[in-house]
Structure 1
Amino acid sequence: MIDRDLLLRATVGLIAAPSENPPDDTRAAAEVAIRLLRAIPGVVVTEHTKAEPVRNVVAVLPGARPGKRLVLSGHLDTYPAGDPSRWSVPPFAATIRNDRLYGRGAADMKGGIAAAIAALAALAERPDFAGELVLALAGDEESMGTSGTQFLLDTVPAVRGDVAIVPDAGSPAVIRFGEKGMVWLDLAAEGRAAHGAHVHRGDNAAERLMEAVRRILALRDWPVDAPASIREASAAARAVSEPLGGAGEADTLTRITVNLGTIAAGISPNLVPDRAIAGLDIRLPPGATTAAVIAAARAAIADLPRVSMTVRVAWEPTVTDPTHPLFEALRRSAARVLGTEPVLNMRVGASDARLFRLAGIPTAVFGPTPYGMGGGDEYVLIPELIAVAETIEAASRDILGG
């Protein structure tokens, strides 16, 4: 049975240990997690660091006999709290108002980590299951995970499980089985500086860049033949998933999207800029590959003189077969806790779940609904935190045979 006091204490303690990324310093949050985990009987806790100040924590709870290994994965880092004026409460005070628990990371994803810790503690009270339950807490998720979860997967054998559950921000009403891939592109255009009154003497890099950006944005119309199972799951989940994820989510999940995230040029309106730069985020569904998208982007701007493109990030789409027993265990457990069965769907945003899938590990994302994620007054609903913890406990016993 979930210890609700432990669940709340863990959430409050983790929020009170700032771990904003940047600077990606998870030392204080890792120390809080270690104290909580070492108080649980039978749990072996180790700390792992690739590069300071990113601290990662792994906790292992062995069962009563050999069996499968289930990994619960969480990230300790958060978005920066940002401008304090956007908050009606201190961002690191973990303020409780009625059923809401406020604070940076409440939903993304210190609440989910606390739910995993509470589930681990519940299994430790009755460790009659087979195999072992592992909790992997990493930093660096908001900056792609190379010093966090990827480092743990590469160096800590206990983190390579038979299956994994990531209690990241989402909704108890939706179990996520896959994520779109991503490509981040940097564009740069070179020109010739001149006074704005003497444009005949200059060559405007900003205008050249605008044309390059226009052509990359046109990749939004690039046809993608997403697998039928993905299209069908998205359509079936739409009535439940879109009210949570926003109108248009189903369409977004099955097509290429391009976001112009940054753009800069020049220093004054009356000067012709000689250099302009832009950064774009491309998300691609299953059925498309990063190689094909990058090749299409290069081809789109190939005839533009003095324009260059650099690939900063490239991750393939990742999917676990939605018929995998992992999802049935989660659905059964969630139905008992919630009184209604969750739907299965893809996830719009990226998470460390992709790293487990790329390592060949079937992975589900199941966590609380985020409110104010990335902005001010981020909060999570306490009843949802309890429901997530109870579902993870029940699903863990189901998967491990307890």
Structure 2
Amino acid sequence: MIDPVDLTARLVRCPSITPEEGGALVLLQDLLEEAGFSCTRVDRGETSNLFARWGDKGHARTFGYNGHTDVVPLGDVNEWTKPPFGAEIEDGWLYGRGATDMKSGVAAFVAAAVEFVRDTPPEGALILAITGDEEGPATDGTVALLDWMAAQGEAMTYCLVGEPTSAADMGDMMKIGRRGSISAFFTVTGTQGHVAYPHKALNPMPALVTLMDRLSRHELDQGNAHFDPSTLAVTTIDTGNTATNVIPAETRGTVNIRFNDTHTSASLTDWLQSEADKVAAEFGVSVAMTTRVSGESFLTPPGPLTDLVARAVQRETNRVPVMSTGGGTSDARFVMRHCPVVEFGLVGHRMHAVDERVRVEQINQLKGIYTSILHDYFSG
């Protein structure tokens, strides 16, 4: 029997701050290969990734788990009351960076997978795709794994991402989609001059302030059956002008939009550019815009996969999980291009925090849920 709490502790003791592997994937590869999984390191750039498969390649019935072993930086170490990589257990809590997000999730699905194929070898295949680049740029992690899988003819029928999804109680929420995210960076250029002679200058500040105001006041949509309304936030306005008697030549502003499936990044880019062009013409300034897309919105409609997960959660927790699309982005935004995907994991209110910690009982519950999902999927 693999104790998922012990495995979580062993993983937490691996200092795997992005992009450092820290020994976490080596630990998992050794364990999985001993259990009969075929493992391949799919490293790209500075990022370490692990692909593991049990069963025949290309089987039409292949279930996948996805997760990450990299963690965010510690912040001020002096604020921690427990060693960040100590994995100490006290009063039913396991402490350490990554304990919640998401080494416990990885430990739970690895333990479930190993015991499942040992005790009840299924007719089908099981894939574990584990990355070391979810908390960082996410360009060489799950994306690299999926690229490699496509080249090798490896495929998952369904995938579950083990991110923390429960809100207040274990099992109260699962994620069936995510909002998209796009950031837009504006540079407004005018003409520098003395504030006493504004007619000899062209101040870019009123143009930028007007643009930011119009964007932030615009109602993007009213939401729909599965998504809340899209939101736009002004995140920074930067001019760098330390003089009070100088009209600046240039100023910059940034907005971020979290959008539902009413939009695409392309449609939003067109709208943002149109608004920027209007302001440029109105004020006689130059407005340059660039964008960065972190992910498109997506939805896995309620159906066989969501039912599969919900049944297992209810069986183990006596709760029916709410199907949500809220929160930030995750690697599910990449997996959705490969196969239907949902996310389910433990309560995540302590992730990324000082003294990050997880309830020990939840790790055991999560293993039970992941095991139940496998039994139901392969028996059905």
Q: Pick the TM interval, shorter chain.
A: 0.7 to 0.9
- Secondary structure of the residue aligned to 1:46 is strand
Hey, what does 1:235 align to over in structure 2? none
- 1:3-402 equivalent positions in 2, closer than 5 A: 3-4=2-3, 7-21=4-18, 24-26=19-21, 28-39=23-34, 41-51=35-45, 53-62=46-55, 68-143=61-136, 145-156=138-149, 157=152, 160-171=155-166, 172-194=171-193, 202-219=201-218, 221-224=219-222, 226=224, 228=225, 230=226, 253-270=227-244, 271-303=246-278, 304=280, 305-313=285-293, 315-323=295-303, 325-359=304-338, 361-401=339-379
1:320 maps to a residue whose letter is T
Aligned length in residues: 367
Q: Distance in 1 between matches of 2:378 and 2:235?
A: 43
Q: 5+ unaligned residues in a row in structure 2: which ranges?
A: none
d(CA) in 2 for partners of 1:375 and 1:260? 25
Deviation at residue 177 of structure 1 after TM alignment: 0.9
Give 1:67 deviation, angstroms. 5.0
- Cα distance in 1 for residues equivalent to 2:20 and 2:210: 39
Q: What displacement does 1:143 show?
A: 4.0
Q: CA deviation at 1:336?
A: 1.6
Distance 2:93 2:62 in 1: 34
Secondary structure class of the residue paired with 1:31: helix
Change (3 A) 1:67 1:209: same
> Any conservation in 1 of the 2:316–2:365 contact (CA below 8 Å)?
yes
Structure 2 residue aligned with 1:238: none
What percent identity do the matched residue pairs reach? 27
**How far 1:20 sits from its partner (Å)?**
2.6
Which one has a bigger Cα radius of gyration? 2
TM-score between both structures, scaled by the size of structure 2? 0.88
Match for 2:161: what amino acid? V
Q: Secondary structure at the match of 2:229?
A: coil
| 1:131-190 superposed Cα distances (whole Å, 9 cap, x missing partner) | 111110012223453211111111124753000001101112212111111212112222
Supply the AA of the counterpart residue of 1:279: T
Structure 1 residues 29, 369: closer, same or farther in 2, change over 3 A?
Answer: same
Question: Aligned partners of 2:208, 2:85: CA distance in 1, in Å?
Answer: 41
Instruction: Give SS of 1:77's match.
Output: coil
Cα distance, 1:209 vs structure 2: 2.7
Letter in 2 for 1:9: D
Describe the SS at the equivalent of 1:18: coil
Provide the secondary structure at the position in 1 that maps to 2:176.
strand
Q: Partner residue of 1:239?
A: none
Contact 1:38/1:44 (<8 A) preserved: yes
Whether the aligned pair in 2 keeps the contact of 1:318 and 1:358 (CA below 8 Å) is no
Greater percentage in helix: 1
Q: Check 1:370–1:188 CA distance in 2 against 1; reply closer, same or farther (3 A cut).
A: same
Deviation at 1:364, TM superposition (A): 1.0
- Measure, in 1, the Cα distance between the counterparts of 2:211 and 2:175: 35
Q: 1:283 to 1:30 in 2, by over 3 A?
A: same
Superposed CA deviations along residues 271-316 of structure 1, whole A, max 9, x for unmatched, are 5433332332211112222222222211122122222111111532
Between the aligned partners of 1:254 and 1:380, the Cα distance in structure 2 is 29
